[in-house]
Structure formats: C-alpha cells, structure tokens
Chain A
Amino acid sequence: MYMVQTKQLTKQYATKRVVQNVNMHVKKGEIYGFLGPNGAGKTTIMKMLLNLIKPSNGEISINEKSILAMDYHYLKNIGSLIEYPLFYEHLTAKHNLQLHCAYMQFSDPSAITQALDLVGLTASTELKVKEFSLGMRQRLAIARAIVTKPTLLILDEPINGLDPIGIKDMRELLLKLKTEQNMTILLSSHILSEIECIADTIGIIANGILIEEVQMKAIKQSAEKTLHIVLDNALEAKPLIEQHFLCKVTYISPTLLHINQFLEATATLNAFLIRHHFAVHQIDVHHSSLEDYFIQLMHGGKQ
C-alpha cells in the first residue's frame, strides 16, 4: 500500500535535532509533495530515505521492506536528485548518463536518448557538463533520475534554476511519469504554487517536524469561501443585510464587508443593496488558497 513509510524518524546532530519523529506515508503511484521553508529538514529526510544519512532513531520502510543502515540493494529501484545536480564535469551529458546506467546495472541503449528527449536536452547531448547552465544541469539531473525507469522518484527541489517554460515542462513530465509509468514521486519545494498543482498529498514540514499530511482533495473541498462586498456606507448596510438574509456579516472597513455564507445569491444581494440606495462597487467570491492554509499551519506550528 505505502511506497515509503517512516516511523518516528529522527536525526540528531551533536547539538541540534534536524528531524524529529517524522511519520510520513507515501502511497504507491501518487505524487507526494514536501512543503516547508528552507532548513526545515526536507533534504535530510530525503537523504535518509537513500541511506546517505543514517537515522539516529526510527524506522524507514520502502515498498513494505524496512531499510537497515547497510542496505543498498533497494536503491536499484529509486531515481534521485538531491540538492545541487552533481556530475562529472569533464564528461558529456550522454556519457554521464551512460555511466549512471552502467552503475545501476541497467542496459537499454535507447533509454538514454529517450530520457534526454523527455527533459528537452536533445540538442546538448554531446556537450560537456561544465558548459551547462544551472537550468540545464537540473534537466540533466532529472533525466538521470528517470532514465532507469525506477518505481520511486525522489526529487529535491526539482524546479530550482528552471525558467518558467522549464517549470511548466517539468510539471507535465512528472504528471506523465505518474500516469504512464505509474511512478511514485516524492518531491520537495518551498514554492507552494508548484506543489499545489501537481501533488496528491502534501506533507507540511517546519523545524524538522512533520506538521501535517493532507490530501490535496481535502484542502480543495474544505477551502473556505468568503463573499467580499465593496460599497459605500458599509456600517449602515451591515444590519440591513443581516436582518434580510439572516446571515452573519463581518464589518471590515467603512467600504468593505465580508460574508461567510450565502454565496450563490450574489445577484439577489446586489439587487437588494441597490434597492436600498447603496452604491455597490464590487462583489466577489474569495477562495482561501493553499497559501492561507499553509501560513495558518505554520503559525500554528510556531505556537
């Protein structure tokens, strides 16, 4: 059921606990987004999943098998990009991928061209990596992560250094990998909007603590909607609306009112206000976004 599961995962350095009792659950075939500010422990958790960093405490299981400090066989099914994209600078893009395949004991000569094509680097295959820009390195690193067609993809800040078109391509590529190859993708970012539009589940992390794991669907459903009304003389309008529509109206400023219910009948409301000679300038339905939700949680976490 779960591709990645951790129990009470903790990493403690001499003085600081960088990851504390993290219980995360990544389902098979979903995109799981790690969201948190810089230094929250996202990279450390990902490195622990790859056994690059050994946990001080807790358990990790990948594909239902628990991972010990000395294990390495399970890495065959994982593609990864951690922190900065690292390559052998004096070798060409293609040669770097060939080496990767050889070390992964993966032999499919067409896979390299395919992967380079998927990330849009077909024109630069014979260039040495030292001539690459950060965005190109990032693309190449993703090509390296997916070339062996792993079942689990671990990407740390995959959109770092990409241009807007690159970001869009990446989003489409990840969705494609998820649907066509049924890959489970674990990615991290500190940019909300990026995770918001592709992730199925979001793990919100701050100061090494996993604050909450939520389904994107649930957030979208529970997102609160408010009606914002901009009009003259808000103070007089408030009791009138409350009486007539039997709802709670919040007075924000002399020209702004908020209503939390009663969202469908904006036309009726507008007509009513005009009948009572209020000058209505604007009525709109405001959706609280993931950003509000995130900030709310962050503040909750700090308290």
Chain B
Amino acid sequence: MWQLILLDWQKHHLNQSLRSFVICIIVIFSFSIFLGNGGHSFISADDFFTLLTILNNITFMIFSSTLLARIIIREFHQKTIQVLFTYPIARKKLLLSKVVLVYVLTFAMLSISMLTMQLATWFVQGTMDLFPDYYALDDLLRDVPFTFTNACIMAGIALIPLLFGMRKKSTATTITSAVIISFLMNSTISNEHARWSLADTVIIPIMLAILGIGIAYLSFRKINKKDVV
C-alpha cells in the first residue's frame, strides 16, 4: 500500500503541488488581513478565525478535488487505468491507495495551513490590531484540537466529488461538484454564531469523515466486475 502511494506521488508529480499549497496559504491569509485592516472589522478573535476557517476549508476542498481529478479521474479519462489493471495488484487496492493518498494530503493541507495562519495571526496581531481581543499563545494552543477535527471531517467530505466525477470520468464534473459541496458545507457553519459546534464532540466528526470515505468507496465498489473499455 505504502509502495503504491509512493508510486502515485512520483507519477503525478505531487512535489509540484507544494508550491500551489504555499501560494494558497499566503493568498487566504493576506485576503483576510486585508479585510480587517484599518479599524476593527472583526468583532472578536473568533470572528476572524471563523473567516479563516471557512476560506481554508473551501480552498483546500477544491484543491483536494483537483488532486482527485489528477490522481484518479484522469487515469480513467486517459485510459492509463487499462495499463494499471494489467498489473498483478487487486484493483480495489490500487484505487484505495489513491483515495488514501488524497485523504491524507487534504487532511495535512487543511491542518498545516490553519496552524500556520494561526501562528501568523499571533505574530501580526500585536502590530496590526486585527480584532479587539488580545490573542495569546494559550489561545492558539486551545484551537489546535479543533483544527485537527475540522481537517479530519473536511478531508472526508472532500472525497464526495469522486462519486460524481467517476460517473462521467470528467475532471470538470469533479471540480464543479467540489465547489458546490464546499460552499454548501461551509455556509452552514457561518450561519451559526458560535463556531462549529459539531466539532466539540468526537463521534460526529468521525462519522462525517467516514460518510465521505464511504461515498468515495461507492464510486469504485463494483470495479472488480467492470469491463475496462
């Protein structure tokens, strides 16, 4: 499995995605600061972090769908999957390793990006005065568990576009459905005044993540019986 994941990493030049990842963080953070610059546009630290979380989730869920498109959908679209299926490896294992790769990458991007931005906030808050509250290192550490559970759920949900993309083997469908799903998911958070309360419990986020993974599995459930034409 590890071997297969490594091969996919090399094959799809995922090193190049690191640069896009860094650019995404910079853009999200500068955009948020720009909104809050000059006067207190944000009522509180929570208000500011809600914005960051929403932008972070939306960005990396869409990023994740481009990875799905690149690693899975394009293999079907360009028919290279036909070559993959002539290898002495179970088809499900091949596809599962790809899904695991996307999940882990998305999880890592969501959490690393959020942690980086929290740290950056802590640095700039003193000089830029983005919100009225004082933001201490303790506050930052308090948010860490939330960041991870959020990343865990969102990475799971980010796999749902695979189901739509696999029907037509289309990159466009995958990314479009990711845009719709990510906006739907994150608009519900912003309507609540409190920050995502579901994340306070452990079971629900895990269930949501499993739901996303389960839906992703549906897209290749019958792959062993299918003709590859």
Contacts and interface: CB of A to CB of B under 8 A. Distances in A.
A206 to B, nearest CB: 21
A50 B85 CA distance: 9
A53 interface: yes
Contacts of A73: 88
A69 B87 CA distance: 15
A87 B83 CA distance: 8
A63 B228 CA distance: 23
A53 B228 contact: yes
B83 A102 contact: no
A99 interface: yes
B10 A99 contact: yes
Interface string A67-88: 0011011111010101010111
A100 B79 CA distance: 15
A86 B76 CA distance: 12
Contacts of B227: 47, 52-54
A105 B82 contact: no
A87 B80 contact: yes
Mostly, the B contact residues are loop
Contacts of B88: 72-76, 104-105
Interface string A35-76: 000000000000100111110000000000000011011111
B19 interface: no
Given A86-B82, A91-B11, A99-B10, A69 B225 contact: yes
A70 B225 CA distance: 8
Given A86-B78, A88-B80, A72 B7 contact: no
Nearest to B81: A86
Contact of B86 (A54, A78, A87): A78
Interface of A: 47, 50-54, 69-70, 72-76, 78, 80, 82, 84, 86-91, 99-100, 102-105
